[in-house]
Structure 1
Amino acid sequence: MRTIGELQDSLDADLAWRRSELHSYLVSVRRSSTDSVTQRSLCRAGVPLLYAHWEGYAKHSLSAYIHFVGRRRLTYRELHPGFVALGIEAEADAQVGISATRKMIWRTHALLTRDSDRASIPWRKGVDTQSNLNSSRCFELFALVGLDASPIQLKSRLIDYELLRVRNEIAHGQYLSVDSAAYEELHQEVLSILAFVRNTISTAAENGAYRRSATPGSPDPADLPT
């Protein structure tokens, strides 16, 4: 994941198959008899599928972005504070056999003295969505890598209740009625959120938003032709 093009290809390819699968499922819902047992069953089963693609794409995209930034080979001084935190925390975790107090001192010393060191961002690990990607966790992950999630903050209730809560209750065997109109609306909302994730990360990469002093619209020197 060395270039912006490679990052965007990864974002687009992962989004494409998810859109295709969700569209095929929606077609099945539409073709089923209105208000039939089959349609209601498809709608109920479709909510966990929508949630799976929401969590899966968010995890893939944010992990791909961290991978991309990690391969920039930048110093801590050059990076957005969130990426500095990722790197320092990963290195602190690798300090085995020392007490919590000494690890705290090590972390502070690193922050004070290692500005010019090349950042050690744990891009192979990816992000942890904790298998329950609610709006709060989503916004925290966005903030960690310097991305603005405010455009979807109004979607918090949809993510937490109409998607995650319903998914959990259905997955645990509870009966919830989901009609075709509600399912189709949720389908469209999830697709719009996935598109937001894709576009936000792509724009951040293009603008070099992962840099501490990035100027909007300015390309990363690493992507300029030599």
Structure 2
Amino acid sequence: MRTLAELQDALDEDLAWRRSELHSYLSATRRAESDSPTQRTLCRAGVPLLYAHWEGYAKHCLSLYLQYVGRRRLTYGELHPAFVALGHESSLDSQEGLSATRRIVRRAQALLSGDSVRATIPWRRGVDTQSNLNSSRCFDLFESLGLDASPLNTKARLIDYRLLKARNEIAHGQYLDVGVESYEELHLEVLVIMNFVRNTVNAAAENGLYKRPVVS
């Protein structure tokens, strides 16, 4: 993931197969007899699939962006504060046995003297969605990469309840009545938030938002 074109291609390719699969599944629910047990079963089973693609794509996009920035080989002085924090915390994590006090002191030392040092960004492990990508975790991940997730504020309830909570209930064997209209609406909403993640990452990379703003 060394060039912007490679990043954009990877974002688009991953979104394309997910969109194709979700559209195919939606078509299957529409072909089933209206309001039949089969159709309701398909709709209910589709909720975990929608959630899986939401979490999977968000994790993939943010991990690709982290890798892209990490491979810019920039110094701490050139990077957005979010990546400075990521780099220094990763370095501290690799030093075993540090007490809380020593960690604080070493963090301060690194921040005061590290602008000319090439950043060590922990991109190989990607981002951690903790297998439960609620809105709070989503906003934290965006913040950790210097990205603005505020447009998703209006989607918080959708993410937390209609996707995550419903996924958990269905996955744990609870009955949840999901009609085809409700499923179609959720399908469209998931595509919207997936596209938002893609567009946000693409714009950040394209406009160099991972760099520290130049103060005139």
Please classify the TM superposition score into its range, dividing by the shorter chain length. Answer: over 0.9
Supply the distance in 2 between the matched residues of 1:91 and 1:146 (Cα, whole angstroms): 19
Unaligned 5+ segments in structure 2 are none
Supply the distance in 2 between the matched residues of 1:75 and 1:81 (Cα, whole angstroms): 12
Amino acid aligned to 2:94: A
CA 1:214/1:173 → structure 2, altered by over 3 Å: closer, same or farther?
A: farther
Unaligned 5+ segments in structure 1 are 216-226
Q: Match for residue 11 of structure 1?
A: 11
Deviation of 1:140 (Å):
1.0
Residue 187 of structure 2 corresponds to residue 190 of structure 1: no
Q: Match for residue 175 of structure 2?
A: 175
- In 2, are the aligned partners of 1:2 and 1:71 still within 8 Å (CA)? yes
Deviation of 1:214 (Å):
6.2
Residue 26 of structure 2 corresponds to residue 26 of structure 1: yes
Amino acid aligned to 2:144: L
Using the size of structure 2 for normalisation, the TM-score is 0.97
**Deviation per residue, 1:99-143 (Å, 9 max, x gap):** 232122212211111111000000001001011001111111111
Q: How does 1:117-156 map to 2 (within 5 A)?
A: 117-156=117-156
Supply the distance in 2 between the matched residues of 1:156 and 1:139 (Cα, whole angstroms): 10
Supply the distance in 2 between the matched residues of 1:107 and 1:10 (Cα, whole angstroms): 35
Please identify, of 143-152 and 168-177, the stretch whose mean Cα deviation from structure 2 is larger: 143-152
Q: How does 1:11-160 map to 2 (within 5 A)?
A: 11-160=11-160
Q: Match for residue 224 of structure 1?
A: none
Supply the distance in 1 between the matched residues of 2:108 and 2:38 (Cα, whole angstroms): 59
Deviation of 1:72 (Å):
0.5
**Deviation per residue, 1:31-61 (Å, 9 max, x gap):** 0001111101000100000000000000000
Deviation of 1:149 (Å):
1.1
Amino acid aligned to 2:140: E
Identical positions, percent: 70
Amino acid aligned to 2:210: Y
SS at the partner of 2:86? helix
**Deviation per residue, 1:77-109 (Å, 9 max, x gap):** 111111011100100001113323212221221
Supply the distance in 2 between the matched residues of 1:116 and 1:213 (Cα, whole angstroms): 16
**Deviation per residue, 1:153-172 (Å, 9 max, x gap):** 10111111111110010011
Alignment RMSD (CA, Å): 1.1
Supply the distance in 1 between the matched residues of 2:112 and 2:88 (Cα, whole angstroms): 11
Q: Match for residue 164 of structure 1?
A: 164
Deviation of 1:67 (Å):
0.2
Amino acid aligned to 2:43: C
- In 2, are the aligned partners of 1:207 and 1:214 still within 8 Å (CA)? no
SS at the partner of 1:178? coil
Using the size of structure 1 for normalisation, the TM-score is 0.93
- In 2, are the aligned partners of 1:70 and 1:121 still within 8 Å (CA)? yes
Supply the distance in 2 between the matched residues of 1:194 and 1:204 (Cα, whole angstroms): 16
